[in-house]
Amino acid sequence: MENTDISVGFAGLKLANPVFTASGTCGYADELADFFDINLLGGFITKSITASPKKGNPDPRIVETDSGMLNAIGLANIGLQRFIEEKIPILEKFKPAVFVNIAGQTIDEYIAVAEKLSKEKAIAGFELNISCPNVKKGGITFGTEPEQVEQITRAVKAVSGDKILTVKLTPSVTDISEIAQAAVNAGADALSLINTFTAMVIDIETQKPVLANRTGGLSGPAIKPIAVYLVNKVYNEVAKKAKVPILGMGGIRTASDAIEFIIAGAAAVAVGTWNFIEPDSCEKIIEGIKQYCKEKKISIISELTGTLKS
């Protein structure tokens, strides 16, 4: 299968294939390198980086659920300075397109991180996390109001230099297309969807929530059909017309899952929770997509994007 070409264009980048690792599930750089050759990926998205280091939420901050998991990590991360000193030198050697996921409590914090990183050659783009459900200040609050989404997207785009800007959307809104349109109006080069759903697990002995944060973000196979639906909705209502690519994610486990997202309208896909279950799943998904393209005689995989039939 080695020679089957599944390269794709993504917001002006040429990727070897449409498979990314999703933010928060693959570390900052080479944490998954013991499990598979990271250079096989089309793209790599770092854990969210904030201007200063963050300890995140107290434990317990992860709990398994039927077909998924809840996390309330709370954007724990090493901070911008350590990221530049320790991780950028590793990322400089990466073949996949590297996207740094940026989070913050204020618009100025997002701007500071983007501005500083805009000079780094190792980075192809930024993923703007305005959809984290697990922090009290910032996070999702920036991603639920169209005016706020426009403001933050425009401000970050203005300091991003030649970096691609993808805006990561929360599913916890009445109309995700309204939010997607706001991001596109403000100059987003791509849209990432979806982030996790706010959810809760209760311990019936203590009658308390299992997570110290009370709630967490639901991810994994449980959310996949909703994610596929939302990708298709945003593709039909916003992305197709605007010619803005979608990075689809939410519960992807196999190549067929990834292909479902592509048919729904995604130009590329990201694998998140499943990296914890099967850390080499991305490699298998890439091989599976090649197999599908070979069997279906698809020579340009981007032609499969948005081919859902009625």
Ligand X SMILES: Cc1cc2nc3c(=O)[nH]c(=O)nc-3n(C[C@H](O)[C@H](O)[C@H](O)COP(=O)(O)O)c2cc1C
Catalytic residue set: 132
State yes or no: residue 234 binds ligand X (CB under 6 A).
no
From the list 57, 105, 170, 196, which residue makes contact with ligand X (rule: CB under 6 A)?
196
Site for ligand X in 157-176 (CB under 6 A): 168
**Residue 223 C-beta: closest distance to ligand X, Å:** 6
Task: Give the residues across from 127 on adjacent strands.
Answer: 101, 166
User: Closest Cα to residue 172, out of 214, 124, 221, 132?
Assistant: 132
| 3-class DSSP assignment, residue 258 | helix
Please say which residue, 127 or 150, places its beta carbon nearer to ligand X: 127
State yes or no: residue 61 binds ligand X (CB under 6 A).
no
Q: How far apart are CA 50 and CA 30, in angstroms?
A: 19
**Residue 36 C-beta: closest distance to ligand X, Å:** 17
C-alpha torsion angle, residues 214, 231, 177, 109 (rounded to 10)? 50
From the list 41, 42, 44, 47, which residue makes contact with ligand X (rule: CB under 6 A)?
47
**Residue 220 C-beta: closest distance to ligand X, Å:** 5
Q: How far apart are CA 1 and CA 287, in angstroms?
A: 7
From the list 149, 173, 223, 268, which residue makes contact with ligand X (rule: CB under 6 A)?
223
Q: Using alpha carbons only, what angle is made at residue 215 by residues 282 and 113, rounded to the nearest 5 degrees?
A: 60
Please say which residue, 97 or 271, places its beta carbon nearer to ligand X: 271
User: What sign has the CA pseudo-torsion 200, 219, 238, 143?
Assistant: positive
Please say which residue, 6 or 194, places its beta carbon nearer to ligand X: 194
Please say which residue, 146 or 248, places its beta carbon nearer to ligand X: 248
Site for ligand X in 103-162 (CB under 6 A): 129, 132
From the list 17, 57, 101, 305, which residue makes contact with ligand X (rule: CB under 6 A)?
101
Segment contacting ligand X by CB under 6 A, of 20-28, 31-39, 135-143, 299-307: 20-28
Q: How far apart are CA 217 and CA 237, in angstroms?
A: 26
**Site mask, ligand X, residues 248-287, x = CB under 6 A?**
-xxxx------------------xxxx-------------
User: Closest Cα to residue 253, out of 294, 292, 229, 221?
Assistant: 221
Q: Is 299 exposed, middle or buried (0-12, 13-18, 19+ CB in 10 A)?
A: exposed
Segment contacting ligand X by CB under 6 A, of 67-75, 138-146, 153-161, 279-287: 67-75
Q: Which amino acid is at 170?
A: T
Give Cα separations from 158 to 152, 165, 188 (angstroms). 10, 10, 11
Q: How many residues in the shown chain lie near ligand X by CB under 6 A?
A: 27
Positions touching ligand X (CB under 6 A) are 22-25, 47-48, 69, 71, 73, 75, 101, 129, 132, 168, 195-196, 219-220, 223, 249-252, 271-274
